[in-house]
Chain A
């Protein structure tokens, strides 16, 4: 009896392991963010479009917002831009941009050409804000609740489908809890 059962159990174990480990939909480079549930790191940076204006997330306290990390060097961000524009027209939450490892002129051009889905775009000149947020690439998108806590992080381009599936329910829940 054991002779058959044990290898079979081991085989089943392997099937489960493979189903998880070799699942093509799982991005093995996506790291879980240790920031989830913690207070969002504060930043005060200049606006990419106007160096005289500052962008700070302290000003957003009390409302749910999205922080989208991008850069003109990031190919996937171009693809994401369209979806973000559509999402911004739905006026669900303010979308704040964090322009990372970039040049101001290039970023301005990009926003003029492709359209600007952001309420404001913070310009991270030296990558310090990105480090504080645990950013390791772009695009990365964070969702912050009304108490200023990071409640979700999405790595790779946001699409309308991702937005509807991952973001909207969390935004609604955050608003219910915050009320």
Chain B
């Protein structure tokens, strides 16, 4: 590999890295956004009970009037988990931030599972079983996600290697303003 080749490859590598992070909006598939933020949360906390009847889902006694879980440890876990879950409608928001109705439904689901004593893993598992790995903002490190986790390090190594090669070749070459070595 010589310097010209490296020069040509480096920008391409950058372009690929850039494209990997590229996204764009627009779809016919829609979900109505609920602008009534806040109201949304108290409703789903209470509304869940009536709809669910005697099921394990009721959280009525476990939330205060602001829709926060009374148990502060549970509330902390609730906030952590909902920040880690992607709202599949808006896709770049977490369900903690999104005002879309589905996000409200999913927050209710997380809250109910926490109150029912489910572990974080069980809750993430519930979500990925239904919506796929994509709902997790940080996918777990496992063989099939190796490419995602490994790619940045690979790019770093590749870039370092290219710089190293270019620098070494450059240091071996005469400076441009030096006269060419005489015969």
Smallest Cβ-Cβ distance to B2: which chain A residue: A3
Q: Distance in Å from the Cβ of B27 to the closest Cβ of chain A?
A: 4
In the complex, chain B residues 3-34 whose Cβ is within 8 Å of any chain A Cβ: 4-5, 8-9, 12-13, 15-16, 19, 22-24, 27-32
Whether A10 and B30, one on each chain, are in contact in the complex, defined by CB atoms closer than 8 angstroms, is no
Interface residues of B (CB under 8 A from A): 1-2, 4-5, 8-9, 12-13, 15-16, 19, 22-24, 27-32, 47-48, 51-52, 88-89, 91, 101-102, 105-106, 109, 128-134
Contacting residue for A137 out of B8, B12, B30, B106, CB 8 A: B30
Contacting residue for B51 out of A10, A17, A35, A126, CB 8 A: A126
| Secondary structure of the B contact surface, majority rule | helix
Give 10 closest A-B pairs by Cβ, nearest first: A136-B88, A7-B8, A134-B130, A137-B31, A126-B51, A127-B105, A10-B12, A29-B27, A34-B132, A137-B29
Q: Distance in Å from the Cβ of A122 to the closest Cβ of chain B?
A: 14
Whether B27 and A32, one on each chain, are in contact in the complex, defined by CB atoms closer than 8 angstroms, is no
Whether B32 and A101, one on each chain, are in contact in the complex, defined by CB atoms closer than 8 angstroms, is yes
Binds B, one of A58-66, A71-79, A89-97, A105-113: A71-79
A37 within 8 A of B: no
Interface residues of A (CB under 8 A from B): 2-3, 6-7, 10-11, 13-14, 17, 21, 27-35, 71, 73-76, 101, 125-128, 130-134, 136-140, 155-157
A138–B31 alpha-carbon span in the complex (Å): 7
Whether B27 and A7, one on each chain, are in contact in the complex, defined by CB atoms closer than 8 angstroms, is no
Given contacts A29-B91, A131-B109, A134-B132, contact A156 B23 (CB under 8 A): no
Smallest Cβ-Cβ distance to A127: which chain B residue: B105
Given contacts A10-B9, A17-B16, A32-B132, contact A127 B101 (CB under 8 A): yes
Whether A74 and B131, one on each chain, are in contact in the complex, defined by CB atoms closer than 8 angstroms, is no
Given contacts A3-B2, A126-B105, A127-B105, contact A29 B29 (CB under 8 A): yes
Can you spell out 21 A-B residue pairs with CB atoms less than 8 angstroms apart?
A10-B12, A17-B19, A21-B19, A27-B28, A28-B24, A29-B91, A31-B131, A31-B132, A34-B128, A71-B32, A76-B28, A126-B51, A127-B101, A128-B51, A130-B105, A134-B130, A136-B31, A136-B88, A137-B89, A140-B29, A157-B28
